[in-house]
Structure 1
Amino acid sequence: MRNFYSTEEGITLTFSDIEEDSNGFEYIRFNFERENNSGFDFAEGVLPALRFDKLYGFSEDEIFDLKDYLRDNSFLIWEIAREKTEKHKGGEKTCLKPLKTF
């Protein structure tokens, strides 16, 4: 994943640049990751569908909260993914809406 978005309560969100599927529709792959005792919990999926393709270690309630987080921040995620400036390559952070407490 190219773009670091945020770390809230030990959960890190990263996402890809904008990609195109075979029908020409744009999408972004995202990855939530959290360290646990044996490695990492993760939730991987695709925007704008808010579809999770791979899940491990997160509860159903946590997945619901992650979807809310994506929904609340999707505009900024798309904006950052579209950015192609030197400023973005420098890793400057953007102010985000915080994750809900789990």
Structure 2
Amino acid sequence: MMYPYMVLADGTEITHSHIIDNNGTEQVEVHFERATEKGFDSARCVLPTYQWKFNEGFSTEEIHFFEEFLRHNAHLLYRYAAQGGISCA
């Protein structure tokens, strides 16, 4: 399940997973999605490694912006992931 986190000014929606236990490492997957004329741009990053699982449609510059965004918001994303989303915080 993905929980809503934020919508950016350009309409990019950011959602996150619950805490995922990966061999003793707590991970959170963060998904970015934006509607386009042809469908959606989407990308997914795994915290804490900041490894991108996929990117379909976002530019390199946008991905760099998202990485910086994640570095500033990772602590909140982990907190909300542990609590079942921001509405439960």
- TM-score, normalization: structure 2? 0.89
- For 1:29 and 1:84, locate their aligned partners in 2 and report how far apart those are by CA, in whole Å: 13
Q: Which amino acid aligns with 2:20?
A: E
- For 1:25 and 1:59, locate their aligned partners in 2 and report how far apart those are by CA, in whole Å: 30
Q: Which amino acid aligns with 2:63?
A: I
Structure with more strand by fraction: 2
1:45-91 CA-partner distances (Å, limit 9, x unpaired): 20111111110111100000000111111111111111159x51xxx
- TM-score, normalization: structure 1? 0.78
- For 2:2 and 2:52, locate their aligned partners in 1 and report how far apart those are by CA, in whole Å: 19
1:17 and 2:18 correspond: yes
Contact 2:3-2:84 within 8 A present in 1 as well:
no
Q: 1:56 to 1:83 in 2, by over 3 A?
A: same
1:31 and 2:31 correspond: yes
- For 2:21 and 2:37, locate their aligned partners in 1 and report how far apart those are by CA, in whole Å: 36
In structure 2, runs of 5+ residues without a counterpart are none
What is the aligned residue count?
87
Runs of 4+ in 1 over 3 A off after TM superposition: none
Q: What percent of counterpart residues are identical?
A: 33
Q: 1:56 to 1:84 in 2, by over 3 A?
A: closer
Which structure would you say has the larger Rg?
1
